[in-house]
């Protein structure tokens, strides 16, 4: 993993950075263009291996910004218990995805590379994900949940968001294929502010169409029922505890008839368990 020197994020002073993105595109052309040939990168050029590398860069930038992203301290017993429990659940939720058996052999997720949960010590309720399997959630969001099937739904939703092309397509629309490829292949040539902007976009400005949320819901229900004994309706209490001013619901908006849609999905042998008491024991009692 390549180490980047990055300034602390300043969400109030960071501009959209279009000049930086233009420079990134020009850099891509300068490093890839052959005489008489117009470069034409395609979405499939951003392979899963490159998505993992982009996620690594984003994660390093977050770790280097403790003022904006204070993390739970793994050296503290209670924090470590929370982190380990969540990581175990997340591993369970995403393992089938990381097997990636339906993809061609040279474009699969690295099964040896774990997908990582990071808890941000912030009372506000938010959750977001980065390419390559990174899932971020605030302690405030965790404190508002009460049962295992709620956090499992959230993890499954974000895992699908990462594993399918939903997040990738949003990044492509915002920054272009050329910019993403250049950043992944030549990170030292970019200002750290480019990563700052991408993090802000992923966390706060990336808003999915409700039709996309509905599509993800269908995949989430299947994933939950294939990987756990949890009930697939973990979205219900999440919608009850967060209002429309909070980040996760703003960026992944609900839609009319959502519960009826999930209920109508033809899924056999789906779990009915909502809680084993583990969430309260390992998360709530240690926050």
Give which of 118, 117, 124, 92 is closest to 276, Cα–Cα: 92
What pLDDT does 227 receive?
94
Pairing of strands 134-138, 117-120: parallel
- What is the predicted pLDDT for the residue at 7? 42
Q: Tell me, what DSSP letter sits at residue 47?
A: -
pLDDT for the residue 200: 95
Q: Is residue 278 within 8 Å of 89, Cβ to Cβ? A: no
Indicate the pairing of strand 117-120 with strand 127-130.
unpaired
Give the E-state strand segments of the chain in sequence order. 117-120, 127-130, 134-138
* Nearest in space to 200 (alpha carbons), one of 242, 125, 251, 166: 251
Tally of helices (H runs) and strands (E runs) in the chain: 13, 3
User: Residue 11 has what pLDDT?
Assistant: 46
List the pLDDT tens digit at each of the 287 positions of the chain.
444 434 444 544 445 555 555 555 555 555 555 555 566 889 899 999 999 999 999 999 999 999 999 999 888 999 999 999 999 999 999 999 999 988 898 899 999 999 999 999 999 999 999 999 999 999 999 999 999 999 999 999 999 999 999 999 999 999 999 999 999 999 999 988 999 999 999 999 999 999 999 999 999 999 999 999 999 999 999 998 888 778 999 999 999 999 999 999 878 778 889 988 999 999 999 99
At 2 the pLDDT is 43
CB of 99 closer than 8 Å to CB of 156: no
Report the side by side order of strands in the sheet with 117-120: 117-120, 134-138, 127-130
**What's the half-sphere exposure (Cβ side, CA atoms, 13 Å) at 35?**
0
Q: Counting every residue, how long is the chain? A: 287
Q: What is the pTM of this model?
A: 0.86
Backbone conformation region of residue 118, classed left if phi is above 0, alpha if psi is from -120 to 50, else beta:
beta
Measure the CA–CA gap between 34 and 36, rounded to whole angstroms: 6
Instruction: Check residue 24 and give its pLDDT.
Output: 58
Per-residue pLDDT at 268? 76
Confirm if 279 and 148 have CB atoms less than 8 A apart.
yes
């Amino acid at each position: 993993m390549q180490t980047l020197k990055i300034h602390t994020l300043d969400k109030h002073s960071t501009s959209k950075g279009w000049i930086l993105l233009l420079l990134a595109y020009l850099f891509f052309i300068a490093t890839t263009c052959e005489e008489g040939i117009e470069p034409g990168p395609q979405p499939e050029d951003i392979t899963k291996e490159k998505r993992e590398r982009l996620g690594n860069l984003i994660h390093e930038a977050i770790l280097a910004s403790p003022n904006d992203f204070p993390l739970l301290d793994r050296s503290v017993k209670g924090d470590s218990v929370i982190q380990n429990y969540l990581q175990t659940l997340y591993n369970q939720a995403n393992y089938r995805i990381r097997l990636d058996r339906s993809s061609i052999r040279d474009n699969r997720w690295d099964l040896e590379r774990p997908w990582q949960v990071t808890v941000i010590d912030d009372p506000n309720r938010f959750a977001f994900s980065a390419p390559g399997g990174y899932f971020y959630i605030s302690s405030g969001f965790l404190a508002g949940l009460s049962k295992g099937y709620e956090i499992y739904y959230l993890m499954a939703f974000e895992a699908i968001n990462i594993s399918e092309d939903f997040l990738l397509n949003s990044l492509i629309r915002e920054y272009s294929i050329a910019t993403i490829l250049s950043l992944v292949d030549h990170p030292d040539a970019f200002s750290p502010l480019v990563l700052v902007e991408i993090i802000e976009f992923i966390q706060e400005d990336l808003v999915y169409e409700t039709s996309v949320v509905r599509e993800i819901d269908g995949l989430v229900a299947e994933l939950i029922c294939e990987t756990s004994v949890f009930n697939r309706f973990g979205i219900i209490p999440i919608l009850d505890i967060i209002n429309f001013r909070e980040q996760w619901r703003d960026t992944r908006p609900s839609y009319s008839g959502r519960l009826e849609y999930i209920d109508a999905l033809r899924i056999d042998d789906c779990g009915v368990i909502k809680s084993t008491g583990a969430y309260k024991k390992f998360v709530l009692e240690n926050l």
